[in-house]
Amino acid sequence: MKSKGKKKEELENLKKDLSEAKNMFVARFEGMTVAQDTELRQKIRASNSKYRVVKNTLARKAAEGTPAEGVAQSFDGSTGIAFNSTDPVVLAKALTAYAKTNPLFVFKAGIVEGRVVNVADISSIAAMPSKEELIAKLLFLINSPAQRIAVALNGIARNLAVVIKQAVEQKKFHE
């Protein structure tokens, strides 16, 4: 049995994680093998996220006053939480890809950017482009008109130079 100090420390650590997590997905994982659990943890780590299997009473208590409070009712049965504070899309992609091949892993709740989302919406979130992809597209769109202007200006300058050169060669300028 854990000492009161250990339990308090565990509660504080979980509360800290839940407070910092802007994005979180709560899932049931009953009956998964150690190999399946290891594969899940690797996918989550690869998405720069964390994963914890939690004791439900402890998790409900730790969720108080954090964004996770909105999904605390889902802390029942075998509960695992995957979370990060940066990119909900990359985490949702990793989890939904894993869930497709492992039917024992079932979503129970989700939080994206601090707001509770419907479980059905998780696959929609996973289908979105990541922040990096969106930024790259945005930069391309911003850059595209500038590139066209630069090409057009270069073309004008080049054409002007050609015309001046021809005029000089044809001695159209008088001294």
pLDDT, position 26? 93
Claim: this prediction has a pTM higher than 0.95 = no
Same domain, 153 and 93: no
Residue 71 domain boundaries: 4-128
Same domain, 100 and 160: no
Same domain, 64 and 100: yes
Same domain, 29 and 111: yes
- Grade residue 2 by pLDDT with cuts at 50, 70 and 90: low
Question: pLDDT digits over 107-166, tens only?
Answer: 999 988 888 887 777 777 877 777 777 788 878 777 777 777 777 777 777 777 777 777
Same domain, 155 and 120: no
Q: Spell out where 87-161 has E strands.
A: 106-112, 115-117
CA distance 152 to 42: 50
Question: pLDDT digits over 80-104, tens only?
Answer: 999 999 888 889 999 999 988 888 8
Contact between residue 118 and residue 74 where contact means Cβ atoms under 8 Å apart: no
CA distance 18 to 35: 26
**Buried residues in 28-47 as b, exposed as e (16+ CB within 10 A):** bbeebeeebbeebeebbeeb
Same domain, 157 and 122: no
Q: Tell me the average pLDDT of the chain.
A: 84
Same domain, 123 and 135: no
The total of structural domains in the chain comes to 2
**Exposure of 161 by Cβ count < 10 A (0-12 exposed, 13-18 middle, 19+ buried)?**
exposed
Same domain, 124 and 134: no
Same domain, 43 and 79: yes
- Grade residue 44 by pLDDT with cuts at 50, 70 and 90: very high
